Homo-oligomer: A and B are copies of this chain.
């Protein structure tokens, strides 16, 4: 259950101990642990190896980062990044930018004309900043956050991703929460496409929502990105080439030998179990909390993952 522990720790835990030893509890009130323990196998879904990326980061603290992709929200970016990954585009490139409370960004550090050639992928793609909010069956399932949102008409969770929507404009989109994976771009909306990617490592810069294509999120290994040394150049770019952090490999999980694929499953966000967890996080019941605020912001609710039980 190591994976579950890490995943739950990704966002705020329920305790905030002054002392390393967790307080003993005899309370029969439901906890995150007890709700998850009571979940059924059908409350979980396996990570789809075709929509999972595995990055091996080198440098001072080598680490593995696992990403889940969202073909529902950004089908063309997902397809193109997978094509780039499959042609080995990112292997041997570097993390070039780490801006505090903002982003980690990687790709070819060279200026445009000197960049690595692309063989099967595309260098530019039409933006997928958002998608239609069709209503009913053609939309991905959506669990609404009852507490509203500063940036959007509604926010909530779709297929494990924090998302937002606006009924007036009839659009929905993935939000820039901590761990969001998106495609960087220049000024033109279609100037990205997936050759330069970034992950959010700070307080959600939600003003980026609908301004770039968010197409995935970090499932595991986030702490290896968020703890990288910050770049001291403009916008957090590393100033010296030797500061850049190597990407040893970036693969689609389906292309890895079976034993090397991440064996993880994700709690479905369209389940009563997830709603119960959400309620527990809205109103903290444990003895530590004196003022359980009874509200939550969309980026503060982690979606649990766990190791697939061995058969």
Contact = CB atoms under 8 A, between A and B. Distances in A.
Interface of A: 9-13, 15-20, 22-23, 61, 96, 98-103, 111-112, 127, 129, 147-151, 177-179, 184-187, 189, 191-192, 196, 202-212, 222-223, 226-230, 233-237, 281, 284, 287-293, 295-297, 299-300
A10 B101 contact: yes
A65 to B, nearest CB: 13
A196 B20 CA distance: 12
Contacts of A288: 186-187, 211
A284 B205 CA distance: 12
Given A100-B226, A202-B178, A222-B101, A207 B20 contact: no
A100 B10 contact: yes
Given A101-B11, A186-B19, A235-B17, A291 B192 contact: no
A214 to B, nearest CB: 13
24 contacts: A9-B102, A10-B100, A11-B102, A11-B203, A12-B208, A13-B102, A16-B103, A18-B191, A19-B112, A20-B96, A20-B237, A22-B234, A100-B226, A100-B227, A101-B178, A147-B150, A150-B295, A151-B293, A203-B204, A204-B297, A204-B300, A207-B296, A210-B293, A211-B291
B291 A187 contact: no
Contact of A235 (B13, B202, B212, B300): B13
A53 to B, nearest CB: 20
Interface centre among A10, A96, A228, A290 (most CB of B within 10 A): A290
- Identical copies in the complex: 2
A179 B208 CA distance: 21
A180 B293 CA distance: 19
Contacts of A187: 23, 287-288
Given A184-B18, A288-B187, A207 B13 contact: no
Contacts of A149: 150
Nearest to A127: B290
A195 to B, nearest CB: 9
B203 A178 contact: yes
A281 B150 CA distance: 14
Given A148-B150, A189-B290, 18 more contacts: A9-B235, A9-B236, A15-B235, A16-B184, A20-B237, A22-B235, A101-B222, A127-B290, A150-B295, A151-B297, A187-B287, A187-B288, A202-B202, A202-B203, A203-B204, A204-B300, A207-B281, A207-B289
Given A203-B299, A205-B12, A291 B223 contact: no
B99 A9 contact: yes
B235 A186 contact: no
